[in-house]
Structure 1
Amino acid sequence: MRRRNNTALVKNEEKVLIMALDLLSNGEVSFHGYRISRQLKEKTETRPMAYTTLYRCLVRLEERELLKSKWITPDDGAQPKRVYTLTKTGKAAAKELKAASQD
């Protein structure tokens, strides 16, 4: 999907941002890519988003400072995971997008 300009979000980025807001509303302050993927499958009726597309979206949203991430290492010695959280700007943008999609 082509960008209209450097600041505009593409549809997939909008979907990811809205799903992040939904997770936050359900008490999940931070999340990883797989959790967003599951949320997209549960909440949307569109074709599943490929993981490469999803992770590109997460990177772009972080570059725009709508998400922030950090690596965590589980206590059980499992692989480190990158977890994401919505920033204040990201939360405001997600709320706007969600309101616009409900109109």
Structure 2
Amino acid sequence: MKILKKIAGWWKIKDIESGQTDWNQPDKQEGIINSIPGEDTPKELYNGDGPADIMDEAINKITKEYQKAWNRDPEPEEIKAVFNFCFNGWKRR
């Protein structure tokens, strides 16, 4: 018997701005708050630990570049601008 716990993994996004969990999502199984690939519809918007970890690594690398060049951490607006610059290029592919 496979035991599932209240662990993160993938979750339905409450709103795009925060990327946080939609806590109002009905549990699929007792004790489960996250979304399960293959069980939940792929038509919803999801966030997950894997993508968040990758983005965290990218932000840390960007921060090091700003520290090296400007001797300071980037402002939040600069991080968003870097993301938007790259994302807009990705969308045009």
- TM-score by shorter chain over 0.5: no
For the superposition of Structure 1 and Structure 2, which TM-score range results when normalised by the shorter chain?
Answer: 0.3 to 0.5
Q: TM-score under structure 2 normalisation?
A: 0.33
Higher share in strand: 1
Relative contact order, CA 8 A, sep 6+: which one is greater?
Answer: 1
Q: Which of structures 1 and 2 has the bigger CA Rg?
A: 2
